Amino acid sequence: MSDFNVVVTLVAAKEHTCCECQGVIAKGTKYDRDSGAQDGQGFSYKTCLPCSEAREWLDKQLRQMNALNDDEGIEFGALHSDLAELASEERFLGVESLRLLLGIAERRNQSVKPQGDGS
Ligand SMILES: [Zn+2]
């Protein structure tokens, strides 16, 4: 097995898109880059820091619930749906999962460029 995964926090030299919220990682802001190889395929994902924190929190919750094995992790791009799943299991009473979901939704909304109509 040659699977590996390295996470580094970098400062964006140019604009990037977060793999979780699709929000803009502006030039000069910090982001996490996960890169590595899985099943012989190289990968690289960029995640804005708020999403990265949310992923860390969710990862911890799922491990506490034994919903993740040691060799498993949250799939890239699946943070929002995994969070929503947890929130529904908590019957939407878990304040933290709702707060994180809201944050992702807000960053998503901001990333949607307004159409140039009505001006
Ligand atoms: Zn993000």
Indicate the number of domains in the chain: 1
Query: Within a domain: residue 97?
Result: yes
Distance (angstroms) between ligand 1 centre and the Cα of 21 equals 4
Query: Within a domain: residue 118?
Result: no
Phi, psi for residue 43 in degrees, rounded to 5: -145, 160
Walk along the chain (119 residues) and give the pLDDT tens digit of each residue: 468 889 999 999 999 999 999 999 999 999 999 999 988 899 999 999 999 999 999 999 999 999 888 888 899 999 999 999 999 998 888 899 999 999 999 999 988 766 665 55
Distance (angstroms) between ligand 1 centre and the Cα of 38 equals 23
Amino acid at residue number 53: E
Query: Within a domain: residue 74?
Result: yes
Q: Domain residues for 37?
A: 4-111
C-alpha angle 114-82-56 in degrees, rounded to nearest 5: 95
pTM of the entire predicted model: 0.85
Query: Within a domain: residue 119?
Result: no
Beta bridge partners of 43: 36
Query: Within a domain: residue 22?
Result: yes
Distance (angstroms) between ligand 1 centre and the Cα of 31 equals 9
Distance (angstroms) between ligand 1 centre and the Cα of 78 equals 12
Query: Within a domain: residue 91?
Result: yes
Amino acid at residue number 57: W
